[in-house]
């Protein structure tokens, strides 16, 4: 149970990997695999029941599809099968969270840890950016003039994550989560939610990620429309406004700031939804090439993460400098390219099952399920520009929704809930409820 409760802090470390047997493994993947061992053992001896739902079935079908197509069509089957194993270990996070959270109280404590992890990840990214700007580059931010003016690298803060786009999407989702908790008004720790909103808003601005900005705007607008009355009442409270004002002040300062950072910020703000910019054109060329490749196998695709080897046309693509940039940063097109129309249908079914679980759970459990559903939906927008579905944090949110739906069914049926573990009694629960290795 303690390892499960560490997952919110492990998923933010996706930019740091552990070398094991010649491959790079992330801490959240390793933790999910380790938790699966006692979970499977306790299930085999009858000590507890292994909970599965239709979402797990979608995962299994999608994994089987990836393995089969990789064997049949991938130009580098060994690499593609390794990536299938990478995806499977990430998807295990959903199963672990689904089975690890058995009560409303455990879900509340887990969501509280998710908020703390968001604050830590955002604060590290902000600190890394500020230190790099003043000349103390310790990593965690890209502030070079070439990145800002010639787009040689993704400019902005990324902290302990892979790149600024991922920190931006992560921060946008958790900003919406915190706002949704505040809007529902039944959270026992409003101060934590307010600071999460403030830090994540600041990290999102300094990630210089337009897709994350758009995702946050849409997510916050959705929360506001659903809870307009309570949202407007709470927005007037000075304690809520203060951390958000800090992010606004930073944004205004960047807008008037001379030099590469200010120029890039003004450019991205002015071209928020303009797809004809330099980066937009590069993405369009990438997408056109991916679609051209897909035409050869439109129904079942080429196999897992095969865009890079296909683009290399037989050469060892892993020897190219920056070969990891040869990938499809759009989860819809990635699904079509790798698993065809059939695989895209499985992806739609998977995402739909997760969202519907969150909607149903929100009716029973309230704030936590509502907020996590809004956060997961927010990710669907920035992931159209840089997909993070091969990382752990989207599936951590999905796992919370799976656990919420399971607990909501138990609550609705009136069956007493028994926890299969304990949490730190000092923690008070919240009220209500890129290619990898």
Question: Could you report the per-residue pLDDT of 207-264, keeping only the tens digit for each?
Answer: 888 889 888 988 888 887 776 544 444 444 444 455 556 656 666 665 556 666 666 5
Over range 48-73, report the average pLDDT: 93
- The pLDDT of residue 276: 57
In this prediction, residues 289-305 reach a mean pLDDT of 90
Q: Which residue has the higher pLDDT, 88 or 287?
A: 88
Is 432 in contact with 105 (CB distance < 8 Å)? no
Average pLDDT over residues 101-115: 92
Binned at pLDDT 50, 70 and 90, residue 199 comes out as: very high
Running DSSP on this structure, what letter comes out for residue 366? -
Q: What is the pLDDT of residues 349-386, one digit of tens each?
A: 999 999 999 988 888 887 788 899 999 999 999 998 88
Burial class (CB in 10 A: 0-12, 13-18, 19+), 273: exposed
What is the radius of gyration, based on Cα positions, of the chain?
21
User: Is pLDDT above 70 for 426?
Assistant: no
Q: For residue 148, what are the contacts with CB-CB under 8 A and spacing of at least 6?
A: 155, 260, 261, 263, 264
Q: What is the DSSP letter of 19?
A: E
CB atoms within 10 A of CB 219: 26
Residue 232: predicted pLDDT: 44
Q: What per-residue confidence (pLDDT) applies to 264?
A: 59
**Least confident range of 151-165, 291-305, 329-343:** 151-165
Residue closest to 387 by CA, chosen among 215, 202, 185: 215
**CA gap 268, 262 in Å, rounded:** 10
Banded pLDDT at 271 (limits 50, 70, 90): low
φ/ψ of 65, rounded to 5, equals -65, -45
Q: Which residues of 51-70 are buried (b: 16+ CB within 10 A; e: fewer)?
A: bebebbebbebbbebbbebb
Q: Tell whether the model's pLDDT for residue 416 goes beyond 50.
A: no
What is the pTM (predicted TM-score) of this model? Answer: 0.84
* Kind and range of the H or E run holding 50: none
How confident is residue 423, by pLDDT bands cut at 50, 70 and 90? very low
CA dist., res. 362 & res. 186, Å (int): 13
pLDDT at 7: 94
- Write out the DSSP string of 99-164: HH--SHHHHHHHHHHHHHHHHHHHHHHHHHHHHHHTT---SSEE--HHHHHS-SS--EE-TTSSSH
- Each domain of the chain, given as residue ranges in start order, spans 2-413
Average pLDDT, the chain: 81
18 in helix, strand or coil?
strand
């Amino acid at each position: 149970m303690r390892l499960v409760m560490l997952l919110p802090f492990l998923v933010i470390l996706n930019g740091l990997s552990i070398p094991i047997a010649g491959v790079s493994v992330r801490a959240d993947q390793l933790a999910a695999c380790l938790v699966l061992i006692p979970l499977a053992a306790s299930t085999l001896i009858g000590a507890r029941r292994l909970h599965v739902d239709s979402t797990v079935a979608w995962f299994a079908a999608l994994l089987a599809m990836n393995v089969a197509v990789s064997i049949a069509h991938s130009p580098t089957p060994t690499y593609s099968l390794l990536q299938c194993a990478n995806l499977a270990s990430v998807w295990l996070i959903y199963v672990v969270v689904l089975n690890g959270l058995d009560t409303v109280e455990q879900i509340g404590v887990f969501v509280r840890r998710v908020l703390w992890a968001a604050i830590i990840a955002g604060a590290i990214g902000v600190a890394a950016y500020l230190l790099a700007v003043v000349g103390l580059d310790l990593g965690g931010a890209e502030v070079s003039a070439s990145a800002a003016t010639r787009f040689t690298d993704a400019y902005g803060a990324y902290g302990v994550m892979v790149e600024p786009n991922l920190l931006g999407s992560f921060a946008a989702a958790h900003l919406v989560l915190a706002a949704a908790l505040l809007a529902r008004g039944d959270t026992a720790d409003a101060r934590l939610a307010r600071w999460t909103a403030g830090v994540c808003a600041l990290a999102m601005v300094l990630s210089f990620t337009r897709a994350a900005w758009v995702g946050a705007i849409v997510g916050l607008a959705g929360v506001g429309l659903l809870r307009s009355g309570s949202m407007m009442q709470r927005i007037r409270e000075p304690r809520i406004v203060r951390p958000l004002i800090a992010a606004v002040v930073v944004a205004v300062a960047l807008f008037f700031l001379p030099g590469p950072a200010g120029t890039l910020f003004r450019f991205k703000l002015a071209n928020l939804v303009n797809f004809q910019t330099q980066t937009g054109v590069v993405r369009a060329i990438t997408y056109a090439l991916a679609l051209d490749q897909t035409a050869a196998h439109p129904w079942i695709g080429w196999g897992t993460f095969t865009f890079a080897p296909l683009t290399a046309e037989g050469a060892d693509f892993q020897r190219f400098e920056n070969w990891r940039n040869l990938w499809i940063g759009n989860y819809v097109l990635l699904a079509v390219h790798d698993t065809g129309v059939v695989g895209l249908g499985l992806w739609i079914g998977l995402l739909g099952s997760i969202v519907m679980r969150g909607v149903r759970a929100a009716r029973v459990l309230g704030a936590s399920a509502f907020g996590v559903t809004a956060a997961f939906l927010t990710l669907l927008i920035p992931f159209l520009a840089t997909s993070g579905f091969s990382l752990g944090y989207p599936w951590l949110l999905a796992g919370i929704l799976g656990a919420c739906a399971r607990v909501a069914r138990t609550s609705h049926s009136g069956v007493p809930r028994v926890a299969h573990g304990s949490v730190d009694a000092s923690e008070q629960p919240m009220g209500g409820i890129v290619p990898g290795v």
